[in-house]
Amino acid sequence: MQAAELLGNYVERFGEDNPQRARWFLKTGWEIQDVRYRIFPEKQLMPADRYLARLMMDSMLKPLQKPDSSVIVSVFTPCELMQEVGLNPYNVECFSSYISASYAERGCLQQAENNGISETLCSYHKTFIGAAEKGLLPRPKCVVYTNLTCDANLVTFRHLAQLYDVPSFAIDVPMQQNRENVEYVAGQLRELAAFLEKCTGRSIDEERLKERLRRSRRTLENFEKFQQLRADRYVPSDLVTPMFAGLANNVLLGTREQESYTEKLLRDVRNTGPARGTRIYWMHTIPFWSAAVKEALSLKESAQIVGCEMSEFCRPDFDPEKPYEAMAQMMVYNSINGGASRRIQRGIENAKRVHADGAVWFCHWGCKHTLGGAQLAKKKFEEQGIPLLVLDGDGCDRSHGGEGQTSTRLGAFLEMLQAQ
Amino acid sequence: MNGNKTYYVCKYTPVELLAAFGAECANLNSMPEGFDLADQIAHPNLCGFGKALLEAVMQGQVKELILVNCCDTIRSVYDVLEDSGKLDFLYMIDALHCDSVCSRERMAAQLKGLARAYGEFSGREFDETLFRKAFAPPVRVKGPHLSVMGARMGTQLFQMVQEAMPLPVENDSCVHNRSVGEVPPPEKLRMLPENGAGWADSPAFGRLMEWYAGEILGQIPCMRMTDNTGRKRLYNDPQLKGIIYHTVKFCDFYSFEYAELKDHANLPLLKIESDYTVQSSGQLLTRLEAFAESIAPEQNTEKEKRMGKGYFAGIDSGSTSTDVVILDKDRQMVTGIILPTGAGAAIGAERALEEALREAGLQREDIDAMVTTGYGRGAIQAGDKSITEITCHARGAHFLDPEVRTVVDIGGQDSKVIRLDENGAVVNFVMNDKCAAGTGRFLEMLARTMEMSLDEMSAAGLTYDEDITISSMCTVFAESEVVSLIAQNKATDDIVHGLNKAVASKTASLAKRVGGEDKYMMTGGVSKNQGLVKTLEEKLETKLVISDKAQLCGALGAALFAADMVM
């Protein structure tokens, strides 16, 4: 049995009666993993990506180590404001992925379902809800969320705020892209700043916030440049690195560490060899746990993921000198805000930038926006000369696997691309 | 459906505004037979209502459609429909998620946008008289009633609910609790004489739309709204006698409300889920009937027959076996028969009844009353009454052990957990969904994969070395997981234990959902599986009472109800 499976067994065993102990196992297991990343990093990855793995592990540990300095956030909630008041983002998608990587997701999912939560709810949300209900995850200072990108946010985070009995703040993002909507969201972000100041007793200095937004912009520019440069290079990638990059470009955006990561990317990409193998652009999350996907795409010269939609939702085209409008712009103009067509169009542009040979549209169980747009995406990508595989699965819950089917579909798609 | 109508799907749709342009609005609520066309252009795992919309449009039944950005499904459906080019008019309203002053202003802007677009499309001007005429207070059920809440319920399923229930039913699900119209537009906002050309940019029209936006957003909030505390109004009505809570597969908003309601509503509560097809509704009939029986139990105890020879029969027609119990006038069991159902429920029942009569040495006419139950109960003509297996299992279990408060029944086709009171009446129950996962069929199929008999499987799971977890609950995927475990040379006992764990977890989950409490009794054919019983006891942290008549529990309950019918 792998160490991670053993950890999951302990967490599940104690999760029923002794949540404090289960939480201790989880935290200690992740601390050990953190040390492992430092001493035995994945050598095939670029140094920048090894640094990213440690960065993400650190940011996962902080809420467990200092829950009172943490804020539960939904993905694409701007985290610059949280950083300014010293709160560590406690991101639902990140935590559920790490719980799943620790083989502890089953009991959490079951807990949520036992309580009546729908079996078809996104498993990232359900795992987190179950873990919170079991007492595995500690109580945060507050909850901040937005309807952006996922309508499950509206119910999941309201439920979490009630469960933990902490103050919450919801950012309402309209789906149309225009100046009025940016103003509307910016107004709410100003209210959010006041909310965070009240929760923490700390104040937000607008000059410092501007500096943070300048850093956010530089980080996104660096990342975009890296994606351009990697178009002709072979950058080794496993299944978690593109996800880490996506999550870090949200929860850590605005930090020195995340900017430093993108600087390292620009340095490392110059030391890589010429492009080889089949290049896949990945839409939506990646089922990092799937042996079938690993076998096809993880650290393989023959085929690799060259970009993931998750890390390219926002463009660095905002004005940091107006920090609230800048954050609002990132939300309103997020490529997944609104209908599926904008998202598909942005995906096509991103895939072309990295010279992808094909794309995978991953239909994560329960993600209605992705499921609904699947066939439209196939049509639009292929009209632009990018073959697209609609792949069903689950980014977090192993029970929605069907590994045999995944292996056949993905294998056949890669063979088809290679034959072209 | 009618191609000349303007269809809408959400209660936040400004139907009165559309009526002002002469549109005849209708709520698109019909459930299709299947999703052949929708699956081709979207994805099978999309919410059933989203697929119903796609299906209706692709079949050419809808030409004008107004959507609201209710959820991720509707956002995607809009794009797919726009790309299809099948509609003459398609519009999506970007409704915000709160009811603040700012939201009302933005809603008013959305209303003006729609008015302009529909005016251009229809070639008509805004007619204030038609607008004001369209405001009509919604008609609601008066007196004691039941209510359907949660995700939208399709027309056909709602009709089925109405027919099955002993009280009038109000449809308060999703779009159906629309309440705009309770208050007519104030006279002081009358636009005349600005009505006619130029209305779109007139300040008077702007003021009217601002008032109207407030009316639309001021309704009982739906689950997509940030603050939905106002929904409590739906279940605080003193005339409300019970709730049928409906969810649609792959629409997750409402399971959160159900999770809260099940712990706080002091009313009989039934949870049902449909996938928005007509077929899925048929499978819900047992649950609906059992709920109706639990609300009006007196219907089951009416004296309808005269005592003859004093024998009563119960027939439980299950998917795997048909069981018959005959009781004498002292309610003692004369005989109990279990036979395979075979190809037809009616023939299987007739055969099992003949066999039971033969064994008891009785004739058909010696039976004073007969009650049928089980999956095939509707197909059997012979009975005097038909009662659901849920009510019958509860009655039978109470008869066998009056201290039992929770019955776990794992049958061939479905599994259910029933909670009963000290009199054996059903307090609450839950059934698995139409998937085979967690049922006897699941174990049967996997025993076949492992080339074992069910008896061998029952013993194999009792001891194990390695604690294997079968992660897939889908029968097909679990089968492929088992095949790969066999290929890895895993011990049979360990694999069977893994399978037992999977079924036990699913069952324990049902028990928790229904608030199961001691004593537990297990009934149904799967109660003979010793390995599963042991694993389930571990999961529930209690002992299961397993009567030697466990398999006959449903038929026994039916026979007891038959005895009640006789004066």
Sheet holding B269-274, edge to edge: B169-171, B145-150, B240-248, B269-274
All residues of chain A having their beta carbon less than 8 Å from the beta carbon of residue B512 are: 114-115
Which of A13, A115, A383 is best to mutate for the B interface (most B CBs within 10 A)? A115
Same structural domain, B151 and B54: no
* Sign, Cα dihedral of B117, B123, B128, B133: negative
Q: Say whether residue A5 is in contact with chain B using an 8 A CB cutoff.
A: no
**Which of residues 97 through 116 in chain B touch A, CB cutoff 8 A?**
97-98, 102-103, 106, 109
Residue B283: CATH number of its domain? 3.40.50.11900
Q: Which of B41, B103, B250 sits opposite A375 (nearest CB)?
A: B41
Q: Say whether residue A113 is in contact with chain B using an 8 A CB cutoff.
A: yes
Contact yes or no for B252 and A120 at CB 8 A: yes
Q: Say whether residue B512 is in contact with chain A using an 8 A CB cutoff.
A: yes
Contact yes or no for A403 and B71 at CB 8 A: no
Residue B493: CATH number of its domain? 3.30.420.40
Same structural domain, B310 and B447: no
Same structural domain, B366 and B480: no
Q: Which of A110, A155, A372 sits opposite B46 (nearest CB)?
A: A372
Plot region of B310 (φ>0 → left; ψ -120 to 50 → alpha; else → beta):
left
Is residue A376 within 8 A of residue A130, CB to CB? The reply is: no
- Residue B480: per-residue pLDDT: 78
Q: What is the ipTM of this complex?
A: 0.89
**Which of residues 13 through 52 in chain B touch A, CB cutoff 8 A?**
40-43, 45-47, 50
* pTM higher than the cut 0.90: no
Q: Rounded CA gap, A78 and A324, in Å?
A: 10
Nearest to A284 by CA among A307, A266, A262: A307
Give SS3 for A390: strand
Q: Rounded CA gap, A287 and B403, in Å?
A: 48
Nearest to B15 by CA among B60, B65, B80, B53: B65
All residues of chain A having their beta carbon less than 8 Å from the beta carbon of residue B41 are: 375-376
Which tokens is A204 given? 């937000």
- Residue B503: per-residue pLDDT: 87
Residue B273 domain flag: yes
β-sheet bridge partners, residue B428: B419
Which tokens is B43 given? 């994805």
Q: Say whether residue A178 is in contact with chain B using an 8 A CB cutoff.
A: no
Sheet holding B64-68, edge to edge: B25-27, B6-8, B64-68, B89-93
Dihedral over alpha carbons A118, A119, A124, A128 (to 10 degrees): 60
- Residue B298: per-residue pLDDT: 58
**Which of residues 233 through 272 in chain B touch A, CB cutoff 8 A?**
247, 249-253, 255-256, 258-259, 262, 271
From B247, B279, B297, the end of a domain falls on: B297
Which tokens is B467 given? 């604690």
**Which of residues 341 through 380 in chain B touch A, CB cutoff 8 A?**
none
Q: Rounded CA gap, B250 and B265, in Å?
A: 24
All residues of chain B having their beta carbon less than 8 Å from the beta carbon of residue A155 are: 223, 252-253, 256
All residues of chain A having their beta carbon less than 8 Å from the beta carbon of residue B262 are: 116
Q: Which of A116, A122, A187 sits opposite B262 (nearest CB)?
A: A116
A308-349 confidence digits (pLDDT tens): 999 999 999 999 999 999 999 999 999 999 889 999 999 999
Residue B123: CATH number of its domain? 3.40.50.11890
- The tokens 């939208």 sit on which residue? B152
All residues of chain B having their beta carbon less than 8 Å from the beta carbon of residue A368 are: 46-47, 50, 71-73, 76, 250
Residue B202 domain flag: no
- The tokens 């049509």 sit on which residue? A379
Give SS3 for A384: coil
The parent domain of residue B121 ranges over 6-136+213-217
pLDDT of A185 higher than 70: yes
Same structural domain, B263 and B366: no
Q: How far is B182 from chain A (nearest CA, A)?
A: 28
Same structural domain, B42 and B174: no
- Residue B301: per-residue pLDDT: 55
DSSP string, A240-302: SHHHHHHHHHHHTTTSHHHHHHHHHHHHHHTTSEE--SEEEEEES---TT-HHHHHHHTT-SS
B139-193 confidence digits (pLDDT tens): 999 999 999 999 999 999 999 999 999 999 999 999 999 999 989 999 999 986 6
Q: How far is A111 from chain B (nearest CA, A)?
A: 8
- Percent composition of chain A: helix, strand, coil (DSSP 3-state, to 5): 60, 10, 30
Which residues, at least 6 apart from A408, have a Cβ–Cβ distance to it below 8 Å? none
All residues of chain A having their beta carbon less than 8 Å from the beta carbon of residue B480 are: 402-404
Is residue B283 within 8 A of residue B250, CB to CB? The reply is: no
Contact yes or no for B480 and A158 at CB 8 A: no
Residue in chain B lying closest to A369 (CA): B72
From B274, B297, B320, the end of a domain falls on: B297
The gap between the terminal CA atoms of chain B, to the nearest Å, is: 51
pLDDT one digit per residue (tens) for chain B, 567 residues: 665 899 999 999 999 999 999 999 999 999 998 888 998 888 888 899 999 999 999 999 999 999 999 999 999 999 999 999 999 999 999 998 887 777 888 999 999 999 999 999 999 999 999 999 999 999 999 999 999 999 999 999 999 999 999 999 999 999 999 999 989 999 999 986 655 668 888 999 999 999 999 999 999 999 999 888 889 888 888 899 999 999 998 888 999 999 889 888 889 999 999 888 887 766 688 899 999 998 876 555 556 777 888 999 999 988 788 999 999 999 999 999 998 888 788 888 889 999 999 999 999 999 999 999 988 887 777 788 899 989 999 999 999 999 999 999 987 777 889 999 999 888 888 887 656 677 888 888 888 888 888 888 888 888 888 888 887 767 767 787 888 888 888 898 999 998 898 888 888 888 888 888 999 999 888 888 999 999 999 989 999 999 998 889 999 999 999 999 986
Same structural domain, B279 and B160: yes
Q: CA B305, B306, B311: angle at the middle one, nearest 5?
A: 90
What are the DSSP E strand ranges found in B395-482? 406-410, 415-420, 426-431
Question: How do beta strands B6-8 and A388-393 pair?
Answer: unpaired
Is residue A46 within 8 A of residue A265, CB to CB? The reply is: yes
Same structural domain, B81 and B104: yes
Work out how many domains chain B is built from and give that number: 4
From B193, B217, B241, the end of a domain falls on: B217
Instruction: Count A/B contacts: CB-CB distance under 8 Å.
Output: 163
- pLDDT bin (cut points 50, 70, 90) of residue A255 is very high
Same structural domain, B427 and B372: no
Same structural domain, B283 and B316: no
A6-35 confidence digits (pLDDT tens): 677 767 766 667 778 777 777 777 777 767
Cis peptide before A323 (omega within 30 of 0): no
Question: How do beta strands B6-8 and B64-68 pair?
Answer: parallel
Contact yes or no for A402 and B474 at CB 8 A: yes
Q: Rounded CA gap, B454 and B440, in Å?
A: 10
Same structural domain, B418 and B532: yes
Contact yes or no for A376 and B474 at CB 8 A: no
Is residue A114 within 8 A of residue A18, CB to CB? The reply is: no
Q: Say whether residue B117 is in contact with chain A using an 8 A CB cutoff.
A: no
Same structural domain, B153 and B291: yes
Which tokens is B337 given? 């028969």
Contact yes or no for A401 and B471 at CB 8 A: yes
- Residue A277: per-residue pLDDT: 95
Number of Cβ atoms within 10 Å of the Cβ of B99 = 20
Q: Which of A120, A121, A184 sits opposite B102 (nearest CB)?
A: A184
All residues of chain A having their beta carbon less than 8 Å from the beta carbon of residue B251 are: 118, 120
Q: How far is B52 from chain A (nearest CA, A)?
A: 13
- pLDDT bin (cut points 50, 70, 90) of residue A220 is very high
Same structural domain, B128 and B159: no
Distances (CA, A) of B154 to A181, B148, B277, B346: 35, 11, 9, 31
Residue B204 domain flag: no
Rounded to 5 degrees, what are φ and ψ at A217? -65, -45
- The per-type count for chain A, helices as H runs and strands as E runs, is 17, 10
The gap between the terminal CA atoms of chain A, to the nearest Å, is: 41
**Which of residues 433 through 452 in chain B touch A, CB cutoff 8 A?**
433
Residue B473 domain flag: yes
Residue B196 domain flag: no
Q: Rounded CA gap, B125 and B316, in Å?
A: 65
Residue B350 domain flag: yes
Residue B537 domain flag: yes
